[in-house]
Amino acid sequence: MNKVEFVKLVKETGNYKSQDEAEAAISAVSEAITAGMISGETVNIVGFGAFHKTLQKGKSGKVPGTDKTYQTQDKMVPKFKAAKALKERISTGKV
């Protein structure tokens, strides 16, 4: 599903009057989750899941076909853990 299809789905399920309203709602939720994660908080949406950030350790590797090696830096990455209720709904296929 691409963004246009997702906006249409949100418009229908959320009873929004226009696609612009649905897109604004999606953007607001996205920005709120991002802001919460940047500030170091876990964003927990009951029945859906939890968004948090975690440290990804740097890696060393070798470029195939050459003797060059590289090292990546440690960085913070976003993670999502689905809630039990979401997992159950997906496994049963019920909307």
Give a three-class secondary structure readout of the chain.
CCHHHHHHHHHHHCCCCCHHHHHHHHHHHHHHHHHHHHCCCCEEECCCEEEEEEEECCCEEECCCCCCEEECCCEEEEEEEECHHHHHHHHHCCC
Average pLDDT of 20-41? 94
Please list the residues that pair with 61 across neighbouring strands. Answer: 70
In terms of residue numbers, what domain contains 70?
Answer: 3-89
Structural domain tally of the chain?
Answer: 1
Within a domain: residue 64? yes
CATH number at residue 20: 4.10.520.10
pLDDT exceeds cutoff 80 at 58: yes
Q: What does the pLDDT read at residue 67? A: 87
Q: Is residue 94 in a domain?
A: no
Q: What is the mean pLDDT of residues 49-78?
A: 93
- Residue 95 located in a structural domain: no
pLDDT number for residue 87: 94
pLDDT number for residue 30: 95
pLDDT value of position 23: 95
Q: Per the domain annotation, does 37 fall within a domain?
A: yes
